Amino acid sequence: MTSHHDSLPVRGMGYVQHRLADAIAEIGRIAMLMLDTFRQLGRGLAAPRLVMEQAHAIGVQSLALVFIVSLFTGAVAAVQAAYQFSNVVPLKYIGSVILRSVIIELGPVLTALIVGGRVGAAIAAELGTMRVTEQVDALEAMAINPVRYLVVPRVVAAVLMLPVLTMLANAVAIFGGYVVAVTSIGVTTQTYVTGLKDFFYLKDLFSGLIKSFVFGGIIAWMGCYHGFRTEGGAEGVGIATTRAVVSSCVLVLINDYVLAHVLFRFIFPA
Amino acid sequence: MIRIRGLRKRLGRRQVLDGVDLDVPTGCTLVVLGRSGTGKSVLLKHIIGLMQPDEGTIEVDGQVMTGLHERDLNEVRKRFGMLFQGSALFDSLSVGENVALPMREHTNMDEAAIRARVAERLEWVGLPGIEDMKPASLSGGMRKRVGLARAIAMDPAYILYDEPTTGLDPIMSDVINRLIRSLQARIGVTSIVVTHDLHSAWTVGDRIAMLHEGRVVFSGTTSEARETADPVVRQFIEGNSEGPLQAV
């Protein structure tokens, strides 16, 4: 216990302890929400209509954004590769470099970040508004479990749709790289395609899709968790939305690192 | 019958409920009066299990609600309907889907029967044929009435009303008050109405309870409430800013 008479270092320690306890409590609450989601999974899937609605909101409505971002990601990857290859690596490898960087890293991570921004914010804002307008209480009062009714469909839809969006992003980015490589770098179609084929490994594609599966869960759970924790009115919804987006982006990047270690060291070693 | 004994709840640093004892006889409409922030809504949320007390018990038809497993709690909740202060309609669903939701979740009724029940309950609240409208396009009074139609969709034994007339014009308030009375006559429901609207209290209440500083300071029939000499109740009824109730 600290008081205003305590010295600065003691107060500083108290503050750190307080923040640490808050962080541990928050991790515990997130773990409880995840556990509750798994408990309610069976009953939640018994209402496929809710999952389909969320799959439409998370997947179909993100298509245009994912398409545009991926197209330019592939294009930039081609320009950057050509610049870094100059006088060092033959340009015949440009297709290989774009392919591997896209399917292992750029496709899953950039898709997760843009979907995290769009969908994570939408989930947190919707559930946060439902919390502050007592709609979540109304569900409970009607003996309807809010995790089953609201969280399960969103998490299931996100973990199913993120790999699908990532596959699309991979294809579009590789196409974007191809357009730039052929039109402004002077690589032929045959060279580009040969580069793609020579260094295509199925394990790279799988590792990217496994990542996107995990990222889908992170985005939906962060949106739901911060939405459910919303307090106050419009200001609270704004805070919840910001927290959902920031936490899902940070967790996507941290988990990207952890998964890269696990996948390429233990599951798909070179 | 609902029996509440020694209910205590602290929220943050404030002791919101400080030993509430209250009985709600079957078939009765009990109005809980009290100033804003005295814990009336918190009391309702305890009764339907949305909040758990720090101490005390709530019995519904002899079954203790506090500490129940979620599955058992939900079985008790199915005997309740609740009208929330802001109606709490689901924006993403149409009016018809809102009213149908508890039936779709908890019964094996076929679609035709559900549609017929939805139409009937909307007619009861004076809003026939608005099934396809979205909550966002309804006025405050209409939202309250749709919320009430949803609350009575499953023929509840108990209805909890949280500030049913707050924010409504006097005419619409009277419509809601008459609905509360007519439901009691039509389905013999037991009701708890939380309000600080005295006109509403006199119109719908069989009994009145007054909540002050976390306790029930008065409980009696409507006519006993009108005649009581209790200074807190008198000051509230008379709307006097001077007395034991401090204007903050």
Amino acid at B123: E
Percent of chain B with pLDDT over 90: 73
Q: How many CB pairs under 8 A join A and B?
A: 47
> For residue B85, what are its two tokens?
């202060």
Amino acid at B197: D
Mean pLDDT to the nearest integer, B3-29? 94
Amino acid at A44: G
User: Is the per-residue pLDDT at A2 higher than 70?
Assistant: no
A141 and B75 in contact by Cβ < 8 A?
no
Task: Determine contact: B75 vs chain A, CB below 8 A.
Answer: yes
* CA atoms of A108 and A110, how far apart (whole Å): 6
User: Is the per-residue pLDDT at A178 higher than 90?
Assistant: yes
* Interacting residues of A81 by C-beta distance below 8 A, sequence separation 6+: A94, A97, A98, A177
DSSP conformation class of A182: I
In the sheet that holds B190-194, the strands lie side by side as: B80-83, B158-162, B190-194, B29-33, B207-212, B215-221
Least-confidence region, from A79-93, A192-206, B104-118: A79-93
| CB-CB neighbors (< 8 A) of A130 in chain B | 90
Tell me the pairing of strands B55-60 and B29-33.
unpaired
User: Is the per-residue pLDDT at A4 higher than 70?
Assistant: no
pLDDT, one tens digit per residue, over A248-263 is: 999 999 999 999 999 9
Q: How confident is the model at residue B65 (pLDDT cuts 50, 70, 90)?
A: confident
Task: Determine contact: A144 vs chain B, CB below 8 A.
Answer: yes
Q: Average pLDDT of chain B? A: 92
Which of B:102-141 have CB within 8 Å of A? 102, 105-106
Q: How confident is the model at residue B238 (pLDDT cuts 50, 70, 90)?
A: confident
> For residue A149, what are its two tokens?
């009714």
Task: Determine contact: A142 vs chain B, CB below 8 A.
Answer: yes
Q: Average pLDDT of chain A? A: 92
pLDDT, one tens digit per residue, over A102-138 is: 999 999 999 999 999 999 999 999 999 999 999 999 9
DSSP conformation class of A62: G
pLDDT, one tens digit per residue, over A24-80 is: 999 999 999 999 999 999 988 888 999 999 999 999 999 999 999 999 999 999 999
Q: Is the dihedral of CA B71, B73, B79, B85 positive or negative?
A: negative
B48 and A145 in contact by Cβ < 8 A?
no
For A259-264, which contacts have Cβ atoms below 8 Å and span 24 or more sequence positions? A259/A207, A259/A210, A259/A211, A259/A214, A263/A207, A263/A210, A263/A211, A264/A207
* CA atoms of B7 and A121, how far apart (whole Å): 39
* CA atoms of B105 and A244, how far apart (whole Å): 29
B88 and A144 in contact by Cβ < 8 A?
no
Question: What is this structure's pTM?
Answer: 0.89
pLDDT, one tens digit per residue, over A76-95 is: 999 998 888 887 887 788 88
* CA atoms of A221 and A31, how far apart (whole Å): 10
Which residue in B75, B85, B102 is closest to A142 by CB distance?
A: B102
